[in-house]
Amino acid sequence: MRIQNLIQAARGEKKADLLLVNARVVNVFSGRIIPANIAICQGHVAGFGDYAADEIIDLNGRYVCPGFIDAHVHIESAMTSVTEFSRAVACRGTTAAVADPHEIANVLGKAGIEYMIDSSRGQPANLFFTLPSCVPATDMETAGAALIAGDLCELMGHERVVALAEMMNFPGVIFQVPEVLSKIKLARSHRKPVDGHSPRLSGKDLSAYLSAGIFSDHECTGLEEAREKLESGMHIMIREGTGARNLETLLPLVSGKTAHRMMWCTDDRHPHDLIEKGHIDSMIRQAIRLGLDPVTAIQMGTLHPARYFNLPRTGAVAPGYRADLVVFSDLNKIQAERVFFEGKPIAENGGMLPGVNRPSAVFVPRSMHVADQMDFSIPAPAGPVRVIEMVPDQVLTRQCVETPKVENNRIIADTQRDLLKLAVVERHRGSGNIGKALVRGFGLKHGALASSVAHDSHNIIVVGVDDADIKAAVNAVVLMKGGLAAACGGKVIESLALPIAGLMSDEPMEEVRNRLDALLSAARVLGAKPSDPFMMLSFLALPVIPELKLTDKGLVDVNAFRIVLLTAP
């Protein structure tokens, strides 16, 4: 952009490129709705009023607001490439997103981050990145890479890097682990915020965590938890993903006095939710439906994340700001009818316009390395065992104790009590590690479900009723170079290949959604109870979310932050 041209257009000394007339502008600074014509030059808003322009579009009294911003998202959870993700959210009005490439970094390390940044170029949405702070998340699992502060140093200054990503290792902060603190210091030296991740942290431990200079949290699941963190100085990112839905619970905290410290994020959304429900637009609609002022809801999805991350010229419809705009007719049910990116129309009525750039794929290295021999049997214990108990619609789990069903001196699944076998197979180094446990909450009566999407190290996780189906599902994932599979009777009945780091497909999102829907239908036939069992499965290996999780190294008591025996004490 030549700043002289923008100044001249703003003064009316030269024609604007585009003039949007008869608009009602949602002013996120004042909170007012202002009738105006919007002049656009070189992809930026030049001014309001009567301007000469090369092109004029009459909006006929429709509303115009800034393009929406997702404050925290893992693109990998959409299971599609960066290109397909960008197109899917842009047509819904999301013109910027702050992505944490934590998932692919745990598989491919620095090369994974560079892959995501390289893939972001030329997209119809402005993608920014936070640098993963916890690769691996803990030493209680085997990841595909390890990133120290020195590895992140040269990337921290990149123009698309805006923060240090969620600091999940909150015990490492509280107990002042030098490498953890060095990453925080690196971000602060570049004057970039540090995102938090501190589920249920409270009191003095929360104060210690915040004292390190951590500014946000997206893991609040309770109103009082969010209130304490807000009053302690954190920015609260309200999350509404596929696996964790917190908007309705946390919305009462949003008021005229608090909203400026709050924003929306999706964190993890599967393709069917992105296509059928939407993205940040769906959160704004939901919040308005539950009683939130529409302008406040828009501010939380535009100006607030732009300010928090210091995104350049982004988050408002105002002179000098990027002309990333959403046009809609109903303020109480915001649905993108037109989307402009860098001053050019890119989408109408939920679909991308013909000719919008679709960047070609970037090379990604091989990521599947699994030992040839896999044994999923569990020797009978001397007494009761720990069981992972799922919490509906949450990534949190509970810990309970049960006496398992045993045959031939081996633990077997007990479908009557919904006690199924769960295993995590190491897939980065071919070590042969397999963590084994029992889980309650899936409801399977037959078969097995397996996935190479298993936060955060993304080993292969599988839940099932018998060992033959468990093995068939895992083998299918390996043969696909990553993906999801459902097996029954020793055979694969449905699958979805995710060859990009075992996390993403290079197919269009609609095709991924269709394959995933077939998998979900197969899972329901097998008896699965969760609405998205693969999403819930993917979080059972995450040893930084309470209470009990499973990694390739064994059961993890997250509250105690240590590996524990399957046998209950």
Peptide bond into 547 cis (omega under 30): yes
Is 57 in the same domain as 86? no
Distances (CA, A) of 417 to 159, 391, 420, 489: 53, 16, 9, 21
Kindly state the DSSP code that residue 360 receives in the 8-state scheme.
Answer: P
Has residue 343 been placed in a domain?
no
Residue 561: partners with Cβ closer than 8 Å, 6 or more residues away: 138, 171
Alpha carbon distance 308, 323 (integer Å): 20
Is 208 in the same domain as 92? yes
Looking at the DSSP bridge assignments, the partners of residue 53 are: 16
Tally the domains of the chain: 3
Per-residue pLDDT of the chain (569 residues; tens, 9 = 90+): 689 999 999 999 999 999 999 999 999 999 999 999 999 999 999 999 999 999 999 999 999 999 999 999 999 999 999 999 999 999 999 999 999 999 999 999 999 999 999 999 999 999 999 999 999 878 899 999 999 999 999 899 999 999 999 998 888 999 999 999 999 999 999 999 999 999 889 999 999 999 999 999 999 999 999 999 999 999 999 999 987 899 999 999 999 999 999 999 999 898 989 999 999 999 999 999 999 999 999 999 999 999 999 999 999 999 999 999 999 999 999 999 999 999 999 999 999 999 998 998 888 888 999 998 999 999 999 899 999 999 987 888 999 999 999 999 999 999 999 999 999 999 999 999 999 999 999 999 999 999 999 998 999 999 999 999 999 999 999 999 999 999 999 999 999 999 999 999 999 999 999 999 999 999 999 999 998 899 899 999 999 889 999 999 999 999 998 999 999 98
Alpha carbon distance 402, 386 (integer Å): 7
Has residue 560 been placed in a domain?
yes
Closest by alpha carbon to 269, among 457, 133, 92?
92
Has residue 182 been placed in a domain?
yes
Cβ contact 356:124 at 8 Å: yes
Residue range(s) defining the domain that contains residue 489? 385-564
Residue 329: partners with Cβ closer than 8 Å, 6 or more residues away: 62, 63, 335, 337
CATH number, domain containing residue 38: 2.30.40.10
Is 144 in the same domain as 230? yes
Has residue 323 been placed in a domain?
no
Alpha carbon distance 15, 497 (integer Å): 50
Has residue 157 been placed in a domain?
yes
Q: Among the three residues 39, 61, 83, which one is the final residue of a domain in this structure?
A: 61
Is 15 in the same domain as 94? no
In one-letter notation, the amino acid at residue 525 is V
3-state secondary structure 49-96: CCCCEEEEEECCCCEEEECEEEEEECHHHHCECHHHHHHHHHCCCEEE
pLDDT at 382: 86
Is 153 in the same domain as 49? no
Is 292 in the same domain as 207? yes
| Residue 363 token pair | 């090379």
- Burial class from Cβ neighbours inside 10 Å (0-12, 13-18, 19+) for residue 553 reads buried
Alpha helices (runs of H) in 177-265, residue ranges in sequence order: 178-189, 203-211, 223-231, 247-250
| Residue 138 token pair | 């803990």
Looking at the DSSP bridge assignments, the partners of residue 397 are: 390
> Chain-centre distance of CA 562, in angstroms?
26
Has residue 389 been placed in a domain?
yes
Closest by alpha carbon to 491, among 511, 475, 514?
475
Is 52 in the same domain as 127? no
Has residue 28 been placed in a domain?
yes
Has residue 314 been placed in a domain?
no
Q: Among the three residues 309, 344, 370, which one is the final residue of a domain in this structure?
A: 309
Alpha carbon distance 22, 37 (integer Å): 6
49 backbone φψ class: left, alpha, beta (φ>0; ψ -120 to 50): left
Count of Cβ atoms closer than 10 Å to residue 284 Cβ = 27
Is 211 in the same domain as 260? yes
Is 74 in the same domain as 53? no
Is 189 in the same domain as 134? yes
pLDDT at 1: 63
Count of Cβ atoms closer than 10 Å to residue 61 Cβ = 10
CATH number, domain containing residue 131: 3.20.20.140
pLDDT at 498: 97
Residue 240: partners with Cβ closer than 8 Å, 6 or more residues away: 246, 247, 264, 266, 282, 283, 286
Q: Among the three residues 13, 36, 61, which one is the final residue of a domain in this structure?
A: 61
pLDDT at 360: 83
- N- to C-terminal Cα separation, the chain: 66
pLDDT at 212: 97
**Between vectors from CA 501 to CA 497 and to CA 503, what angle results, nearest 5°?**
55
171-182: burial string, b at 16+ Cβ within 10 Å, e else: bbbbeeeeebee
Cβ contact 423:413 at 8 Å: no
| Residue 456 token pair | 């955060």
| Residue 148 token pair | 């120290």
Is 30 in the same domain as 153? no
Is 54 in the same domain as 85? no
Alpha carbon distance 391, 523 (integer Å): 18
Pairing of strands 16-26, 53-58: parallel
| Residue 202 token pair | 């409270």
CA atoms 81, 82, 84, 88: torsion sign: positive
